[in-house]
Amino acid sequence: MTEANKFVDIRHAQKSYGELEVLKDISLSVDRGEIVAIIGPSGSGKSTLLRAINDLDPLTGGEVWLDGVQINKDLPYRQYEKHINAMRQQVGMVFQHFNLFPHLSVRDNVTMAPKMLKGISDAEANALAEEQLKHVGMLERIDYFPSQLSGGQKQRVAIARALAMKPKLMLFDEATSALDPELVEEVNLVMKRLAEEHMTMIIVTHEMDFAASVCDRVIFMDKGVVVEEGPPSVVFQNPTEERTREFLRKHLSQYAEGAK
Amino acid sequence: MDFELILRVYPYFLEAAVVTIELSVLTILLGLACGALGAAARLSRFALLRFLGAAYVSVFRGTPALIQLFILYFGGPQIGIQLDAFEAGVIGLGVNIGAYMTETMRGAIVSVDHGQTEAARTLGLSRAQAFRKVTLPQAMRLMIRPLGVNINAQIKGTALVAAISVVELTYTAQRYIGSTYKPFEMFFIAGILYMIIITVTGKGIAFLDRKARLP
């Protein structure tokens, strides 16, 4: 196995919907503990790439590897299901629209998957829920239902739910895009804390200042290709590609803040 | 209106109402079973099952229930299916309402946000686990009221079995008209009893719907 030392390794990722090619031969890797932001205009393929990592949007070509194991293995249906379910347990995902389970309490949202998949006892599950919810500052809402929470609170619970599976990698798909501006910060704080704990994170975001302040590396995508990548200081302040500059001009206010 | 006559015959109508209730309960239970199977087939990942589910729905919704009942009861013996009138009524109408319930259940299942399945799958749940723990509990809540509409229609639909001589409410009313020549009174009693059954059932469904509502 070559290059097994790369933690997340995307090799020649290609994705088409019929004629439309949304990912064009993308290769990139992420180290253990690294925090990477993927930015770019809508339709650039950044969410598709993120969702390809845990095979929510299967690639039409190329490979995705996590910690030396190929995620999108070519296997017969049943074997593949088993394989992908095991892989997904190691990859947490946070969605733009939270996708909390509305019929379950905050506690059950967090404990459902660990209980079903890891066979932990009720007592262990409760301890796990308390630990994870405390981590995101939502312990006092443990017996609430999702409909009784604000957007920021929902997203913090969604992060706790993902973390309860003890993932090796966290994917954030525009986690703050659906939030009212005043609720963004509480979610950003939770993500910053995770970053400080060296969780490996791949973050698709429109928030340039967050990307600049938290991420080790910024990847700018446009039209299905990686146009430019590098540390935030370089990509934001000294972009070499015209397309990057043009994109950043449109996000100037964020750019200015991020550059501080 | 001949109240004296009504008081004299209504015990027979109550007995007939019990048959109507039995028919309703059995056809609805059979319909729910057929609906669950039909919806599972319609949503299967196998094309053949999807086709069979769709065919079931279009055949049974596309022809009059009365014709289906006649084919089963009168035509059945020709192809070796011997059923008494009550059995034919239960099976014929149960399979018929099942086609409507298939669509009700399928509709409720597909109207659960796909993000719910995605969230469950990203946690590592299998397709079946995600369906059982996440999609289905939400779909069940959504299907209570529309199934209530199917159930309401089915209770009234049991009147069709009068055409194959099952002694239920409608048939009883017709029979007493023969001896009393008072169709207004006879159908009036039957109508009132149908309404009582339907009102009580409706209340029950509304209660279930309230119970199932999320905070």
Is B1's Cβ below 8 Å from some Cβ in A? Answer: no
Cα separations (Å) of A158 from A26, A109, A162, A167, A204?
29, 8, 6, 13, 16
Token pair, residue A251, equals: 């996000």
**B116 neighbourhood in chain A, CB within 8 Å:** 99, 101
Strand partners, A70: A65
Does the CA dihedral B42-B48-B54-B55 come out positive or negative?
A: negative
What's the pLDDT band for B125 if we cut at 50, 70, 90?
Answer: very high
Give which of B164, B151, B173 is closest to B104, Cα–Cα: B151
Which structural domains are found in chain B, ordered by start?
3-213 (1.10.3720.10)
Q: What is the DSSP letter of B74?
A: I
What pTM, to 2 d.p., does this model score?
Answer: 0.87
Q: How far is B45 from chain A (nearest CA, A)?
A: 11
Does the CA dihedral A71-A74-A77-A82 come out positive or negative?
A: negative
pLDDT at B183: 87
Is A103's Cβ below 8 Å from some Cβ in B? Answer: yes
pLDDT at B6: 80
Question: Do the chains contact at A95 and B118, CB–CB below 8 Å?
Answer: yes
pLDDT at A37: 94
pLDDT at B7: 82
Token pair, residue B56, equals: 């079931």
Q: Rounded to an integer, what distance in angstroms lies between the CA atom of residue B162 and that of residue B69?
A: 11
Q: Rounded to an integer, what distance in angstroms lies between the CA atom of residue B24 and that of residue B78?
A: 27
Strand partners, A169: A91, A200
Angle formed by the axes of helices A122-135 and A106-118, to 10°? 130
Is A139's Cβ below 8 Å from some Cβ in B? Answer: no
Q: Rounded to an integer, what distance in angstroms lies between the CA atom of residue A52 and that of residue B172?
A: 66
Report the 10 Å Cβ neighbour count for B82. 8
Q: How far is B212 from chain A (nearest CA, A)?
A: 10
Q: Rounded to an integer, what distance in angstroms lies between the CA atom of residue A139 and that of residue B176?
A: 69
State the residue for tokens 């001949």. Answer: B2
Token pair, residue A175, equals: 């986690």
CA A98 to chain centre: 12
Amino acid identity for residue B37 in this structure: L
pLDDT for residue B25 is more than 80: yes
Is B11's Cβ below 8 Å from some Cβ in A? Answer: no
- Please give the order of strands across the beta sheet that includes A217-222: A91-94, A169-173, A200-204, A35-39, A217-222, A225-230
Left (φ > 0), alpha (ψ -120 to 50) or beta: where does A231 sit? beta
Q: Rounded to an integer, what distance in angstroms lies between the CA atom of residue A75 and that of residue A57?
A: 16
Does the CA dihedral B125-B136-A151-A54 come out positive or negative?
A: positive
**B214 neighbourhood in chain A, CB within 8 Å:** 102-103, 145, 147
Q: Write a three-state SS string for B147-173.
A: HHHHHHHHHHHHHHHHHHCCCCHHHHH
Is A249's Cβ below 8 Å from some Cβ in B? Answer: no
Q: Rounded to an integer, what distance in angstroms lies between the CA atom of residue B121 and that of residue A55?
A: 10
Three-state secondary-structure class, residue A144: coil
Question: Do the chains contact at B124 and A89, CB–CB below 8 Å?
Answer: yes
What's the pLDDT band for B180 if we cut at 50, 70, 90?
Answer: confident
Q: Give ipTM to 2 decimals.
A: 0.90
Q: Rounded to an integer, what distance in angstroms lies between the CA atom of residue B121 and that of residue A107?
A: 19
Q: Rounded to an integer, what distance in angstroms lies between the CA atom of residue A24 and that of residue A226?
A: 9
Q: Rounded to an integer, what distance in angstroms lies between the CA atom of residue B189 and that of residue A97?
A: 55
Amino acid identity for residue A108 in this structure: D
pLDDT tens over chain A, length 260 residues: 455 568 999 999 999 998 899 999 999 999 999 999 999 998 899 999 999 999 999 999 999 999 999 999 899 999 999 999 999 999 999 999 999 999 999 999 999 999 999 989 999 999 999 999 999 999 999 999 999 999 999 999 999 999 999 999 999 999 999 888 888 999 999 999 999 999 999 999 988 888 999 999 999 999 999 999 999 988 888 888 888 998 888 875 554 544 44
CA atoms within 13 A on the CB side of B127: 10
Strand partners, A8: A30, A66
Q: How far is B30 from chain A (nearest CA, A)?
A: 28
Predicted confidence (pLDDT) per residue in B80-113, tens digit: 989 999 999 999 999 999 999 999 999 999 999 9
Token pair, residue B84, equals: 């008494």
